[in-house]
Amino acid sequence: AGLKVTLDPSDSKADVLLVDLKETSNLLASLTAGQVEAVVGPSPFPEVAQTRGIGKVLVNLGELPPAGQWANFPCCVGVASEEMIAKHPEVVRAFVALISRVGAWCNAHPQQAGEVAAQWIGLPPEAGRKSSLVFLGSFNDNWLRGADTYLRILDSMNKFSGSLRHKTMEQARPLLINDSFLDTGK
């Protein structure tokens, strides 16, 4: 669009100043206080901004061009320590099965799931009903491509000093993903 974007607050020639608000809890507060004019954040924060009248959802990530490129972009994942996996694989397997079933139910009943989640975390039910979250039961190509994007960006920001430094998702996958607990219908 020909806009100049910057991370440098002293760049007065830029049209857009990007600011890292550090935590999702700062998104709505910063928008309400007028410290920022727009936020980019995970659901349900945009929906809450809309229901509170402090913002309007402009676009969901999965809708951005090129078509399909940003669908199923990584958000939240389950994590277990190597020790937990080694000592209690049956617990990890049961947890993964539970989360997979819950995700499938949420995908089949998005408005109900949104209302339950909103109530659980203290948000307006209408914000929950508008949530656009999709829960995946496997690491599909788009998810892996998105995870690779995260890795590359974090690496370019010098956030890694150890085994993830300068790694692509393909190289880092054995370090990051253990999908042996997923029920893939095999």
Domain boundaries along the sequence of the chain: 65-181
The model's pLDDT over 39-68, given as tens digits with 9 standing for 90+, comes to: 998 888 888 899 999 999 999 888 888 888
Separation of alpha carbons 38 and 34, rounded Å: 9
Q: Give the pLDDT score at 28.
A: 93
Residue 74 near residue 150, CB atoms below 8 Å: yes
Taking 60 as the threshold, does the pLDDT of residue 3 lie above it?
Answer: yes
Q: Which long-range contacts (CB under 8 A, 24 or more apart) does 85-93 make?
A: 85/178, 89/181, 92/181, 93/181
Q: Give the pLDDT score at 186.
A: 40
Q: Residue 147 — pLDDT band, cuts 50, 70, 90? A: very high
pTM reported for the whole predicted model: 0.73
The two counts, helices (H) then strands (E), for the chain are 8, 2
Separation of alpha carbons 126 and 47, rounded Å: 8
Taking 80 as the threshold, does the pLDDT of residue 185 lie above it?
Answer: no
Q: Give the pLDDT score at 184.
A: 54
The model's pLDDT over 102-117, given as tens digits with 9 standing for 90+, comes to: 999 999 999 999 899 8
Taking 60 as the threshold, does the pLDDT of residue 164 lie above it?
Answer: yes
CA-to-CA separations, 66 to 4, 70, 73, in angstroms, rounded: 21, 8, 14
Q: Which residues contact 179 (CB under 8 A, 6 or more apart)?
A: 138, 139
Closest CA relative to residue 177, chosen from 42, 77, 110, 87:
77
Q: Which long-range contacts (CB under 8 A, 24 or more apart) does 78-87 make?
A: 85/178
